[in-house]
Structure formats: C-alpha cells, structure tokens
Structure 1
C-alpha cells in the first residue's frame, strides 16, 4: 500500500473554476515574473475530479485522484523522484492539471474559444481532445513559481521538460533529456507537429 507522505498531503481542498490554460497577457507576465501558472479547477456544471479536474493543494503524491493516478506511469515516477529531490530544497510540486478526460479537454477548449474569440487563438493555449498530451496522460501542469523554477533548473535530470515557451508550467517526459538535455521549446502548442491532427 502506498501512502502520501505527510508533507505532500493537501491541507485545503477549496474548489476552483475551470479555466483555459491561461490568458495571453497572464502567460507573458507569468513567464516574465516567474509567477505561478494557471490553475485547473471547476465551474458550475463542470465535469469533476473523475474527468481530471483538480482541487487545490494536490501534489504528485496524491495517487487517489484521477488527474494524478492516470498519468503515464513513467512520467509519474519521474515527477515523484524530482519532487522528492525538490523537497530537500524546500520546494513542493503542486499539480494544477494532469490527466484529463476527452470531455473535460473539450470543455476547456470551448471555454478558451469563448474567452479568446476564435478557435485559432484558443489553440495557442488548449489542444483538442484528439491531440492533447493531457488526455493521453503524458503531460502535467505544475503550480507555484518555485516549483517551475526548480524544474527549469533540474527537470532534465529526471527527463522532465518544458515543451511550450508560453506555458512555463507544462511539463512532459523526454526520457533522453538526462543525457541530451531537453529539446528546443515550441513557441506555443500551434507550433507542435503533434497538434496537427
């Protein structure tokens, strides 16, 4: 039986409202100031935890939540190794978003289209359910600027790489990163060939 370490247990479980993966201006400010990325959350009538919505305070050790439990096992193992090392530096990895159901991903895209005014602009921030690495369990959005700064400096040692320049919170596993370093980042998801389906 695996247990969540006491330091990894959330203390508060407030629910938040689902949002697309951030505002353009917010992302620029986030990148420039190293602030925390957008948070995954709930809105009225939204899909819930079973679809990958994440309450506040979730860490990579919260194995009971589908957003964490449904991550690719290799990605989750790397995240947990990195989080254990980061804890020695006083840094905790909070999960703002991990695995998502196709329905939840579709909802986020609809909300982003409404927010940004077009699907083309929305897709700079939110992928379709058919192309999203979140739906495949191959991506995680890490909250708190100290955690993303730690991953920026040390993530490659664990195969964890930031993929999009406009999303400093979005990390995926690149197994050869420890030997070769992380691949060059895409400006945003629209530049990623995987999104062209």
Structure 2
C-alpha cells in the first residue's frame, strides 16, 4: 500500500470514528431544542438543561436526597420533565385538547400554563416506573408528594410531609384548584 493510500485510509477511518462518536454523543444542553424545558431521554439532575436548572433548588435538593437513597436499592431516577416555559406548557395543553377533544378532557392530563407547577419549576416528572413507584412509597420522607392519582410520575415538594405525610392526591389535574379559571 502506498503512503498516499495509507494516509487516505487512516483519514477515512478517523472520519468514520468521529462520525460514530458524534452520533452517540449526549445532546448538548445549550441546544436550542431544549430551551423551552424539553428534556432528552434519560436526563438526570446532574444535567444542565434549562428543564433541570430552572427547577426550584429545594425541590432539586429533595429529589437528590431521595435519588441517593433509591440508588442504594439499585433504583436510578431520570427526569422526564421539570421546568417548562409558558410557551411549551401552552403547546402541551393545546396538543392535549386536540388529542382528547375538549378543554375539559385535556385538563385531566395537562394544566394550562397559569395552573402548572412545571412553569414555576415546582414540579418534576420522574421515570422510569420503578423510580416513580419508589418515590410514591418513600417520597414523604423527603417532603416529595405525588399530586395527581392519574400521574404516578408527577411529584411536588410539600413542606411538612416528612412529619405529617403527603396530602391525598387530586383525582387528576382538573381537580387541582390551581387549575381553576
């Protein structure tokens, strides 16, 4: 093999390796697709996406403490959703209206921006199912409570829950007084 062919072959190999690495690379937290609070799959509290960094610091501290204890049992927490921009929340609400056929049906699943604790950084959706189940069972120890019966992944900070237990969850988001017009 000539010197030129070796250089071209090596260059091609490097290009393929760099391309493969780029395809498998984690999403960039500065990517504008994430500016509205959208999170990539398997985001964690250690990530620097706006959906994480705009969360209430007390909520983050509580979820970190719970996550550390759950990890001792082999359970890993991922953040499916955290802070959302008003525009992102409005888009989710409008999509739910289309999917469910009416505003009242959509309100069972998605709050308006004015009523959503996500737009203030005071709510977090935890995945996978084992992590959400662990948090349902143990969250009160960290003042973390499941807020809606029909959303077993949605948790908010409820001061005093570690002493008094979590309040009874709302049947769904439409029963939450924050979502009243």
| Coarse TM-score class (shorter-chain normalised) | 0.7 to 0.9
1:97 aligns with 2:81: yes
2:36 to 34, 51, 55: 51
Deviation beyond 2 Å, 4+ runs, structure 1: 11-14
Cα contact 1:116–1:122 (8 A) shared by 2: yes
1:174 to 158, 161, 177: 158
What's the secondary structure of 1:52's corresponding residue? coil
1:108 aligns with 2:117: no
Please show how residues 65-144 of structure 1 align to structure 2 within 5 Å.
65-144=49-128
Q: Calculate the TM-score normalised by the size of structure 1.
A: 0.75
Residue number in structure 1 paired with 2:12 = none
Q: What CA deviation, in whole Å up to 9, does each residue of 1:18-69 have, x standing for no partner?
A: xxxxxxxxxxxxxxxxxxxxxxxxxxxxx8211100101101222x111111
Change (3 A) 1:12 1:172: farther
Q: Matches of 2:91 and 2:60 in 1, distance apart?
A: 25
**Structure 2 segments unaligned to the other structure (5+ residues):** 1-23
Change (3 A) 1:12 1:141: farther
Q: Calculate the TM-score normalised by the size of structure 2.
A: 0.82
1:193 aligns with 2:167: no
Structure ID, larger Rg: 2
2:136 to 152, 175, 183: 152
Shift of 1:117: 0.8
Counting matched residue pairs gives 154
Larger relative contact order (CA 8 Å, sep ≥ 6): 1
Change (3 A) 1:110 1:95: same
What's the secondary structure of 2:135's corresponding residue? helix
Q: CA RMSD in A?
A: 1.5
**Structure 1 segments unaligned to the other structure (5+ residues):** 1-10, 15-46
Shift of 1:74: 0.4
